[in-house]
Chain A
Amino acid sequence: MELDSLYQEVILDHYKHPQHKGLSTGFTAQVHHVNTSCGDEITLNLTIENNVITSLTWDGQGCSISQASVSMLSDLLIDKNLDEADVIVNSFSDLMASKGTSSGDPEILEDAVAFAGVSKFPSRVKCALLGWMAFKDAAIQSQGESK
């Protein structure tokens, strides 16, 4: 069924068992992003030390796609430096814009290639991107802080 390409097991697994959920007390930037069309929301705390993401925690409510996506993002980005993070974020954004024509680069995205199926459902792409846009925003704010 077409639906199974959207709801991959690894996605539903992250939804049921979210990683790094629960906000840290300290952070270099905190952002709150909302999907205005459906009300899904994510608060994301980011700590960057010496150009490396040392902590990324979040809290939120929303659909399986938005929540699993931010869970996987936190798994992928913790301990990466900002250049590495940039490559991962761009790769994921490209995958989401692919309208089902790309299967994603497993070398870069690891389990997050499971979201390839989401790109076939235009109304769900912004669900998958919610946490990633929040991270981008937080990274910019963190860099602003350190200057």
Chain B
Amino acid sequence: MSFSVTDIRKDFPIFERTIRDGKRLVYLDSGATAQKPWAVINAQSDFYSKHNAAVHRGAHQLAEEATDAYEGARAIVAEFIGAAENEIIFTKSATESINLLAYAMGNAEKGNRFALTSADSIVVTEMEHHANLIPWQQLAKRTGAQLSWFKVTEDSRLDLSSIDQIITSNTKVVAITHQSNVLGTINPLEAIVKRAHEVGAVVVLDACQSVPHMKVDVQELGVDFLAFSGHKAVGPTGVGVLWGKAQLLDELPPFLTGGSMVTSVTMTDATWAQVPQKFEAGVPNMAQAVGLGAAFNYLSAIGMDAIHQHENSLTDYALKKMLAIPGITIIGPQSNDSRGATIAFTIADIHPHDVGQYVDSQGVAVRTGHHCAWPLAKCMNVPATTRASFYLYNDEHDVDALVEAVVGAQKYFGRF
């Protein structure tokens, strides 16, 4: 089956509407959240209209159907990333996934492999989204552990030249993004995973910007934990995933406690259920999990390799077209080598917020600001950028519309 953006766009009802007085919607903000196909919208709607009941609880038919749908979604997610079903924990977001992990580690008592003291270190990178920085920064503060980080080079890559000095025998956790949400840089993991495992540290991968866009197989990557959100992968908001190796999840203490994560409870004590239930206290976001299952089925039917290839050639086209605009600076790799379809840029003499406002008036939706990666913006020496991020439903016409709008912004603000 050939990859047809025209056909794909028909699956997404939002593209039937126009914006800003009848203009075609050019949606280039999928890095923030992706649009939803009918398959996902209908899956949630069907859950609520036909099968709604609290999972893992009621002694009735609806509860059975709801549980089947929810656990069925877990199986789909597991297969999508090459994991075992009991290694998939549903959360409300990737942010919650990473916080769950950081707080659970903070709960580890002496003797547990995850217990941290002032003798330990946590390693992150300068290009992390706040969601994969602040939970670790704060865990370091609470435990006294040292926080170290890989710096970003001038060409927007991780500086791994001092890897052995940054990941040391004291390192317990290495938390790193798979693909930068600002730069688009795809990080090489092999050397980091190898070094981390050499010293007995676990590798936590923020896969928010990779899982929706390329084939991600946790076995191949060799990481220990991985987090992503559903809504960036054409799934619903309100559902995220934490994946971890089964043995590690067994050793990890729980974070949120309450209903359905226990095996026995007395007035003074409780024992924990097996994973993944140990980490899923309370009635979960069931319709959203089911919607995520539908999202992954939708993406799988098109094919993750085909999606990645499409985005890769679109990035090629966009980089060439954008670099030809006078006064533009691409913040991120200038070449299409090991980079995803996220392009952040600045325009001489026009603030990103003003660029964003003008291109919006032309129907082009982009994001502006520091993109929840404030330390990265500081190290790239830009207060803010404009970011265009592409997905399976974007094509070269969208790139052309962006380029035309940016040139229009230059004319508009160049009047004075």
Contact = CB atoms under 8 A, between A and B. Distances in A.
A121 B357 contact: yes
Interface string A1-43: 1110011010011001000000000000000000001111100
A39 B354 contact: no
B413 interface: yes
Contact of A38 (B21, B369, B412, B416): B369
B263 interface: no
B76 interface: no
Contacts of B384: 38-40
B368 interface: yes
A64 B347 CA distance: 14
B197 interface: no
A6 B383 CA distance: 22
Contacts of A12: 413, 415-416
A107 B352 CA distance: 33
Interface string B350-382: 011110011001000000111000100100000
Given A3-B361, A38-B370, A40-B383, A64 B351 contact: yes
Interface string A31-65: 00000011111000000000000000000011111
Given A12-B413, A39-B384, A121-B357, A2 B21 contact: yes
Interface residues of A, number: 23
A127 interface: yes
Nearest to B362: A3
Contacts of A13: 416
Contacts of B21: 2
Contact of B361 (A2, A38, A41, A65): A2
Contacts of B416: 9, 12-13, 16
Contacts of A1: 361
Interface residues of B, number: 20
Contacts of B370: 38-39
Contacts of B374: 39
A124 interface: yes
A65 B351 CA distance: 10
Residue of B354, B368, B370, B412 with highest tally of chain A CB at under 10 A: B354
B360 to A, nearest CB: 9
Interface string B374-416: 1001000001100000000000000000000000000011011
Nearest to B385: A39
A39 B357 contact: no
Contacts of A39: 369-370, 374, 377, 383-384
A62 B382 CA distance: 11
B361 A61 contact: no
Contacts of A121: 357
A147 to B, nearest CB: 36
Interface in A56-92: 61-66
A65 B368 CA distance: 14
Contact of A127 (B353, B361, B377, B413): B353
Nearest to B358: A3
B383 A61 contact: yes
Nearest to B415: A12
A39 B369 CA distance: 6
B348 to A, nearest CB: 14
Interface string B173-215: 0000000000000000000000000000000000000000000
A8 B361 CA distance: 15
Given A38-B370, A39-B370, A39-B383, A63 B358 contact: no
B374 to A, nearest CB: 7
B361 A64 contact: no
A30 to B, nearest CB: 20
A3 B357 contact: yes
Contacts of A6: 357
A2 B21 CA distance: 10
Contact of B351 (A16, A37, A41, A62): A62
A66 B368 CA distance: 15
Contacts of B357: 3, 6, 121, 124
B239 to A, nearest CB: 24
Nearest to B351: A63
Contacts of A9: 416
A45 B317 CA distance: 48
Given A12-B416, A61-B383, A38 B358 contact: no
Contact of A40 (B353, B377, B412, B413): B353
Residue of B353, B354, B413 with highest tally of chain A CB at under 10 A: B353
B235 to A, nearest CB: 25
21 contacts: A2-B20, A7-B354, A7-B412, A7-B413, A12-B413, A12-B416, A38-B353, A38-B369, A38-B370, A38-B384, A39-B377, A40-B384, A61-B383, A62-B351, A62-B383, A63-B351, A63-B354, A64-B351, A64-B353, A66-B353, A127-B353
Given A38-B384, A39-B377, A127-B353, 4 more contacts: A2-B361, A16-B416, A39-B384, A64-B351
10 A-B pairs with least C-beta separation: A63-B353, A63-B351, A38-B369, A3-B361, A39-B370, A39-B384, A39-B383, A16-B416, A64-B354, A12-B416
